[in-house]
Each structure stands twice: as structure tokens, then as C-alpha cells.
Structure 1
Amino acid sequence: ASPPRPAAPEPRDAWETVRVARHPGRPTTLDYLETAFDGFVELHGDRLGADCPAIVGGVARLDGRPVMVIGHQKGHTTAELVARNFGMASPAGHRKALRLARLAARLRLPVVTLVDTPGADPGVTAEQQGQAAAIAENILAMSVLPTPVVAVVTGEGGSGGALALAVADRVLMLEHAVYSVISPEGCAAILWPDSSAAPQAARALRLTGADLCRLGVVDELVPEPYPAAHG
């Protein structure tokens, strides 16, 4: 017989939840595509000249049903994180996501998005290439997409980079994920003397799944294996 499951601990402090959500061992979009979906075929490129590695997407089957899956991709090692730009999508990444969502609408496929990003790429090049406009176009298009969209915040749901994939008919959050308009460090740097007040900012932001369910921002929490999805 398997050992009994330990008693569930008290709810984590918000800052501790942020640290769990950022753990490099947490499953990535590609991990979920390997374990929860079947027959994934990746589709590349924004059709304007770039293929952002921070966004992966394509067609797959979920419980036997064809779907379009689009998600942020981080990685587990430093090399993977650097190669994927830490899951921070460029305008090309957001355009790729939008292209796949529109393709899903044409094919009448439901869309599943997996959200795990500290935010959109904040670099000068991304701004010069129209980052804000790319995110805004995604938000507009996803809000009127004529096919069902389910978004799942699997780790970090950070700012506009998260919203670019998280505007959906149903928004779910993993038990130890976070979802916020700004990172605790960014909030602390604006409202407190410096970013060392991040734990205090995390509590004030109400960014945990329990808080966001209570506020009606997300629809449902998805339980994680004990003690967390990364084991």
C-alpha cells in the first residue's frame, strides 16, 4: 500500500507562493504537452520573419479532442531559461500566439493557453518592434474569438505578458501559481523605498489563487500534487 498522504499544510504566505511559482522545477508548457496532451504538432513563426522561443504552440489532442495549445515556455536549466528568454515573449511571440488562435477559430478548435511568464520582454528592441501594440491586439482578438478559450495559469502570471494569453472564457490557476498586474519586486520599487519590500508587496497584491478566486478574477483552482507540482 502507498504511504498515506501528509496532512495539508496551512495556506502558504503570498511571498512563499511567489517563490514556489518561480521554482525552476515546475512543469513547463512542453512538459504538459508531453504528459497531458497527445499528438502535439508544433507550429512555428509569426509569418512576419521571426519565431519567438518564449511561446510554443500547435495542435494536439486533449482527452481525444483536437485543440490548439499555446503557452509560455521557460525551461529548467539556466541554459534553457536563457534560450527561451525566461518565458518573456517578444512581439513576434505574441503575433505567433495570435496567428495560432485565429487558425484555431478557422478550424473550429478550442484553444487552451498555458500561462507562465514574469512578463513580456521589456527590452528596447521589443518596444521598438511594437510590444504594447502586439499585446493589445492579442487582448482584443482573444476577447472576441469565436471558439472556446480556456487559460490556465501554471506558474507566474505576470502583467501584460500574461494577459496576452489569459483573456479567455474560463481562467484556471494551479494551486501554487500567482497572477498579478506587476511583480512584487516592481510594485515594491514603486511604492516602497526599494525592492526589498517585495514580500510585503506580494501580500498586498492579492496574487494567490485563493485570493483571486475569492475576488472573481479566476474561475477555479486546480489542485497540485503534494507538496507542489514540481515535487
Structure 2
Amino acid sequence: MEYLEFELPIKELEDQLLKCKIIGEESEVDVTETCANIAKKLTATQKEIYKNLTPWQRVQMSRHPDRPYVLDYIRAICGESFLELHGDRSFKDDKAMIGGLGKIGDQSFMFIGQQKGFNTKTRQYRNFGMANPEGYRKALRLMKSAEKFGIPVVTLIDTPGAFPGLEAEERGQGEAIARNILEMTRLKVPIITIIVGEGASGGALGIGVGDVVLMLENTWYSVISPESCSSILWRSWEFKEQAADALKLTASDMKKQKLVDEIIKEPLGGAHRDREKTFSAVSSAIIKSFEDLKNLSPKDLVTKRMDKYCQMGVFKG
């Protein structure tokens, strides 16, 4: 288990608890009371730290190396029923954008999301979760297939942004994202969007238009990352914590601004601390959202979705 800087007091207590248990197992000394006291202190420390996280610490949590990625969620939720689909039928198969059909119970869904890697080799293979234009075109192809067969769409967002390379721009990165936003607003099947990690810029918006938009507790959603914002405004990354605070990018901020609909609670310490509980919470949220949407006609779906986004950013004096 890796620990972030602000989690070091937790690490110290966990190490103490482990040593205490080892002493109890290897000797005849009764350490039950000591272990209980350390465990009690550990729980109190965890609650104190995680209930007072700053926006920048939430950003760090969303990037935790042990945090589950999109394929982890899909495989846990769908099991053996998931069938990955490949290619945009035009240029190539983008490895940063994954998608395919899967079932939760008896209900089929089209799952689409950005996949990051878990080590150097897979990070390069997945392009660090940054999709090229062909990734967004693949996503759109899958959405259109889902619409054709009346299958609801679930998008899982976890990206530091769309790939900013010259070749991506040459192939129409901006157009591909804009096209997805347009087509998603008028897709005639339910769309459930969940931010499970980082939700940065147009890279997130390219698959982020939904009838229901949910965020896991320790995730962020913003037009720009704190580091990039800091480098533009202060010409240095040193002010990333101030930028994170000013951007109002946390799940609670998004909910307050009515830019997302619900926050999915994470286990104490983050999604990586109890993966199964997190997977179960995400699965339940998908089913609940679908139950609320499944009886709406295609026309009503599109109308409500359009109204939802038209109301964003409108303030009455």
C-alpha cells in the first residue's frame, strides 16, 4: 500500500499496530489492550484526516496509484459478460479509450471510458489515459450502436485530458470532442456518466454528457488541472494547491453548483482501501439511475437532457 504525504500519520499507526500484533504472536505477552488502543487511535486519525481533505488532497486521492481504473470497475461489475469492442472504423483502435457491452444482472449496458495503466509499460500502452481523436470517434460509434439496439450507455471518466499532441490536432481532436458533445445531447437512449478518477477538460467532456452525472467522493472535474492552471496564472506549478482551491473542482463543489447530480460515497481512506465496496456502490448507482430513466420516451430523454445543460451557468438576479 502506498501512502500520500498527508497519510503518513496513518501509516505510522498502522505500522505500530502490525508490530504490536507480531509481538503478541511471537511472545507470551498479552498485547490485546495495547492493540485495541492503537486501533482506536488509528480509526480516529483516519476520520480526522479524511473528513478535512483540501481540494488538492482530493486531487491527489483521485490519482492514487492503487486506485481502481475503469477496466477494474467494468470487470468487477459485469464479470465474464463484458465484451470489449475495438476501433473507430476509420483510423485505428485507441487504447486509451475502451468500450464494450456488459450486463448488470439481466440488463445490458454499453460501457465506455478512459483507461490508464498501472505500471510504466501499460501507461505508455494506454497513453496515460489521454485519448486521441480516434478514441472519441470509437466512443461515438459505440454510442450509436447502443442507440440502434436500445441499449443504455454508461460512461466512466478518468483522464488527465485529451491527448494534446500535434498528430492528434492534425486528425481533428477538437472536432471529435465537439461532435461527441453534440451527438450525446440528442442520443435516444439513457446516458449515465460517472467520474471515477480525474475529469479534466474536453477530454472528460467528450464522453461526459449524461442524463445523470455522478462523481465518486474523491474525484475532481474541471476545465483544467490545478498544475496547468498554476503554470498559466503564476508561471509555476508551486501554486497548484491555491489553484485547486480556486477552481472549485471537488465533488461537493460540483454538486453545490448543480453540475453533477449525486456524489457516490467512498470507503474511509478512498476507493482503493475497499475496492469491493466501491464497485458495489458504483453498480448500485448505475442501476438506480437506470431505473429512474428507463420509462422515459426517447423524446422526453432528449428534452430533459437538453434542458439540464441549458440551465447550467444561468443565474437569475
Task: Give the TM-score normalised by structure 1.
Answer: 0.96
Match status 1:28 vs 2:69? yes
Which structure would you say has the larger Rg?
2
What is the number of equivalent residue pairs in this alignment?
A: 229
Shift of 1:98: 0.4
Q: Give the RMSD, CA atoms, in angstroms.
A: 1.4
**Is the 8 Å Cα contact of residues 173 and 220 (structure 1) preserved in structure 2?**
yes
1:16 aligns to what? Answer: 57
Which structure shows the higher strand fraction?
Answer: 1
Picking from 135, 143, 162, the partner of 1:93 is 135
Picking from 183, 188, 192, the partner of 1:141 is 183
2:160 aligns to what? Answer: 118
Shift of 1:6: 3.5
CA distance in 2, matches of 1:185, 1:83: 24
Match status 1:155 vs 2:181? no
CA distance in 2, matches of 1:156, 1:182: 11
Shift of 1:86: 0.5
Match status 1:129 vs 2:171? yes
CA distance in 2, matches of 1:81, 1:6: 34
1:40 aligns to what? Answer: 82
Shift of 1:81: 1.1
CA distance in 2, matches of 1:75, 1:193: 29
What is the DSSP-based 3-state SS (H/G/I as helix, E as strand, rest coil) of the residue aligned with 2:238?
helix
Amino acid at match of 1:141: E
Shift of 1:193: 3.2
CA distance in 2, matches of 1:23, 1:92: 28
2:283 aligns to what? Answer: none
CA distance in 2, matches of 1:152, 1:173: 5
**Superposed CA offset, 1:22-65 (max 9, x none):** 11221111101111123000000000030000011000002321
Shift of 1:141: 0.5
Picking from 103, 117, 120, the partner of 1:78 is 120
CA distance in 2, matches of 1:63, 1:153: 22
**Superposed CA offset, 1:176-226 (max 9, x none):** 011000011111111123121111100000000011111101100111122
Task: Give the TM-score normalised by structure 2.
Answer: 0.70
- Give the 4+ runs in structure 1 shifted more than 3 A: 3-9
2:98 aligns to what? Answer: 56
Q: Which of 117-126 and 21-30 deviates more? A: 21-30
Shift of 1:80: 1.2
Long gaps (5+) in structure 1: none
2:268 aligns to what? Answer: 226
CA distance in 2, matches of 1:6, 1:62: 34
> Which has the higher relative contact order, 1 or 2, with Cα contacts under 8 A spaced 6 or more apart?
1
**Superposed CA offset, 1:72-101 (max 9, x none):** 000211211111000000000000000000
What is the DSSP-based 3-state SS (H/G/I as helix, E as strand, rest coil) of the residue aligned with 1:230?
helix
Picking from 153, 167, 180, the partner of 2:222 is 180
**Is the 8 Å Cα contact of residues 24 and 77 (structure 1) preserved in structure 2?**
no
Shift of 1:126: 0.2
What is the DSSP-based 3-state SS (H/G/I as helix, E as strand, rest coil) of the residue aligned with 2:271?
coil
* Percent of paired sites with the same residue: 48
Long gaps (5+) in structure 2: 1-38, 274-317
